[in-house]
Amino acid sequence: AQSVTQLGSHVSVSEGALVLLRCNYSSSVPPYLFWYVQYPNQGLQLLLKYTSAATLVKGINGFEAEFKKSETSFHLTKPSAHMSDAAEYFCAVSPRGATGANNLFFGTGTRLTVIP
Amino acid sequence: GAGVSQSPSNKVTEKGKDVELRCDPISGHTALYWYRQSLGQGLEFLIYFQGNSAPDKSGLPSDRFSAERTGGSVSTLTIQRTQQEDSAVYLCASRGAWGANVLTFGAGSRLTVL
């Protein structure tokens, strides 16, 4: 069974500091992995995805994530936080080759606060 | 359309009333998903459509919830006899035939049951 765990429902960082949002997955084979961001009163927007190419994936707004099979992790990072990064971030996992229903599993989300 | 469109954006209703939420997916997207996002919770899968059929309804919380999709396009999520615990943001997403399960989400419909 697929599942994804996000450690820390709330993360606060100072403007300009490193952002690190943690995500671990459980899967028998490496799945597809995603990070979505939800700004206030908006829908979810794809930030980046890992499908099988380079293990270090670069996304929009300066975010990147590294797939580490040995740690079953896909943590999201950004070197320097900006006020506009304040949002809710969701990690998601999808089995490879899956078709049909319910094949995207979301974590419970991490709310990022950026302190001026 | 250019994106996934949901209506209404906000709905306030009284307990016991029926509500309908509408989703207009990206043109040509064959798969359509409904999720529910409650305060402080993650995304709860409700139902998935491939074309007009719903092969997986396992996420619907009760028989008060139903959904349909017509013409392989617009979908309607109906909640009958609403309860206060139904208050949430209902998100719709669509996916094309390609793209490693990348979903494009609408802005959601916020439902408040008084």
pLDDT (average), residues B70-74: 89
What pLDDT score does B22 carry? 97
What pLDDT score does A101 carry? 44
Choose the closest CB to B105 out of A43, A49, A107.
Answer: A43
- Report whether B108 contacts B91 (CB < 8 A): yes
**What residues of B are in contact with residue A90 (Cβ under 8 Å)?**
42-43
- Chain B interface disruption, residue of A7, A104, A110, most B CBs within 10 A: A104
- Report whether B106 contacts B92 (CB < 8 A): yes
Is the minimum CB–CB distance between A35 and chain B shorter than 8 Å? no
Please write the tens of the pLDDT for every residue from B23-60: 999 998 888 999 999 876 778 889 988 888 887 788 89
Is the minimum CB–CB distance between B52 and chain A shorter than 8 Å? no
* pLDDT surpassing 90 at residue B14: yes
Is the minimum CB–CB distance between B25 and chain A shorter than 8 Å? no
The pLDDT mean for chain B works out to: 90
**What residues of A are in contact with residue B93 (Cβ under 8 Å)?**
43-44
What are the 10-residue block averages of pLDDT along chain A, 116 residues in total?
Answer: 84 97 86 90 88 87 94 96 96 71 78 96
Which chain A residue shows the shortest CA-CA distance from B32? A101
Task: Find the largest Cα–Cα distance for chain B.
Answer: 41
> Using the beta-carbon criterion (under 8 Å), do A43 and B59 form an inter-chain contact?
no
What pLDDT score does A51 carry? 82
**Distance between CA atoms of residues A54 and A82, nearest Å:** 26
Residues 77-106 of A with CB under 8 A from B: 90, 94, 98, 100-104, 106
> Using the beta-carbon criterion (under 8 Å), do A101 and B103 form an inter-chain contact?
no
